[in-house]
Structure 1
Amino acid sequence: MSTDVDACTRNDVYAAMCPCRDMLDLLANKWSALAIGALEDGPRRNGELKRRLEGISPKVLSQTLKRLEDHGLVTRTVYPEVPARVEYALTELGCGAAGPLGMLREWVEANAGA
């Protein structure tokens, strides 16, 4: 019989104390999934993301991007211009998450009326 400690060392999302759950929680959030999708085509500025993610508030967008950055899925680049230009882009880890999340978005769109 395995313990929670054993489950965590093998990254078992079903284990109560597994750190994988933080990432699952982040990726299962609709705004995270949509932000990652919006960044698939390349870096975008905050305003571009706000326009693409219809209905998101500036506060939620900021919080979402910060969480994605904290988890290593997105990078934030500040360019030394006046006014400062900030761009967000997917990291390698973020690109890896983009594929499965893209399939989930496609499934949702195809089955929304079901």
Structure 2
Amino acid sequence: IDCNTASTPDLEFSSDFTLTITTSTKCTAVAGYFDIFFEKNCHNKVLFSTGPQCTKTHWKQTVFLLEKPIPVEAGEVLRGKITVRKNRKDPRSLFITLAVKDTQQTYSLQ
């Protein structure tokens, strides 16, 4: 999302994603994180990630626990879709819907 041009409706979106499975197991959760870049018209660019491989920040990752584990095989590509919607009753919280394989769950982030 481009913060210089985004409008309120842009804050609600859906995006497809893929995860390549490295170990045959059961998937019990999906973790989410973000990268952010403040660089347009900035003399001092600010870039950081909340990803697990990066330096810690005050922002954290989010873990979306699955109600039912999904069996997965090494090398399999797990396809899904994330949908982000604002909570109309609380503008600072979100509803996140994850669809993975044959399951769909909605989470409330506050």
Query: TM-score with structure 1 length normalisation?
Result: 0.23
Greater strand share, 1 or 2?
A: 2
Instruction: Give the number of the structure with larger relative contact order, counting CA–CA contacts within 8 Å between residues 6 or more apart.
Output: 2
Query: TM-score with structure 2 length normalisation?
Result: 0.24
